[in-house]
Amino acid sequence: MPSAVIESLESIIVDLPTIRPHKLAMHTMQNQTLVIIRLRCSDGIEGIGESTTIGGLAYGNESPESIKQNIDSHLAPALIGLEAGNINAAMQKLDKIAKGNTFAKSGIESALLDAQGKRLGLPVSELLGGRVRDSLEVAWTLASGDTARDIAEAEHMLEIRRHRIFKLKIGANPLEQDLKHVVAIKKALGDHASVRVDVNQYWDESQAIRGCQVLGENGIDLIEQPISRINRGGQIRLNQRSPAPIMADESIESVEDAFSLAADGAASVFALKIAKNGGPRAVLRTAQIAEAAGIALYGGTMLEGAVGTLASAHAFVTLNRLTWHTELFGPLLLTEEIVTEAPVYRDFQLHVPRTPGLGLTLDEERLARFRRH
């Protein structure tokens, strides 16, 4: 039987409304823009993937529009006619013709895995070597910007058993105001919840020295990316003196970044993001570097919808240890879905389907309604 080849690869920009404005240090999200990848193969099998980023160009080097343009003009044409089931060969070709572009590559690698899983009747987690758990604990981001409102939201999440890990986005306000906000929320929630912060690189080292000290002394469990990814010396010094563990997020833009951070001792926790490494298989290479270096792991998100979230989840359920759990809550931030069955969140966990591929089907009617024309 001749093996299936890749016939076409389409990228679709989708604009979806969010439940509330989502305040990050660099950007306030009013909606989320997804880039959905559809890969069609000669055996009639279709794979889906997602290449989503946050806030246009506010977060990183790739925007939804640049992701789509680069896929349409460069990446998709390079894949046509290649064997659909040979993911190594396809991704090596993309790495050869395109530097970086990890968001675009992640969506494509996800779509190749989804198609191959459907072809073989296996979930993507099994293509990645096999899952060691069926569900993942999921943190929630409190990002209203208002202390009382954030506390009320956290208490509601605890009561309905959806989240007991809360991440606060800080850095945009004066340091003392941010610290007061975080400490008040931790005091209100007490031992019922883990409270963490993400500074998104907004502090300089002098602010971070005080910020990390105060947060660590007040029971904050984890401090994500306090200073710029460019300031490697500062990251190393903070990692040595902060009473709370430091997690690298923006500092990792590739598997090679992960190696160099580990070699320098610049963080004790890594945020794993498929979009920043180039796909579910690529992110596991970063996880292996971390494991070898004794660095703890956290399953991160670019606030993807259902497709990107489950592509991440299928990789994360294969990991030996996920000490800091995950933040795969992207679908919960959206008020509309473009898949027929939304991912299942129950008892603080995201439950990862055991059906072939990613375990999702696009809802054509809804996709047509929300796609950008």
Chain contacts with Mg ion (rule: CB under 5 A): 198, 224, 249
Determine the Cα angle at 121 with ends 4 and 131, to 5°: 120
Residue listed under structure tokens 């389409």: 10
**Please, which residue, 48 or 275, has the CB nearer to Mg ion?**
275
**Please, which residue, 109 or 249, has the CB nearer to Mg ion?**
249
**Please, which residue, 12 or 238, has the CB nearer to Mg ion?**
238
Residues marked active site are found at 169, 327
**Please, which residue, 45 or 199, has the CB nearer to Mg ion?**
199
Q: Single out the residue of 182, 185, 166 nearest to residue 214, CA to CA.
A: 182
Is residue 249 classed as helix, strand or coil in its secondary structure?
coil
Q: How far is CA 333 from each of CA 16, 100, 110, 188, 254, rounded to the nearest angstrom?
A: 10, 28, 22, 24, 26
> What's the closest the beta carbon of residue 201 comes to Mg ion, in angstroms?
9
Q: How far apart are CA 143 and CA 366, in angstroms?
A: 28
What residues does 48 pair with on adjacent strands? Answer: 38
Contacts of 259 (CB under 8 A, 6+ apart): 289
3-state helix, strand, coil in the chain (%, to 5): 40, 25, 35
The two tokens of residue 68 are 């789509």
Residues in the chain: 373
Report whether 60 contacts 5 (CB < 8 A).
no
Q: Which residue is nearest to Mg ion (CB)?
A: 249
**Please, which residue, 137 or 337, has the CB nearer to Mg ion?**
137
Report whether 250 contacts 61 (CB < 8 A).
no
CA 79 to chain CA mean position, Å: 25
> What's the closest the beta carbon of residue 275 comes to Mg ion, in angstroms?
12
**Please, which residue, 202 or 370, has the CB nearer to Mg ion?**
202
Q: How far apart are CA 255 and CA 277, in angstroms?
A: 6
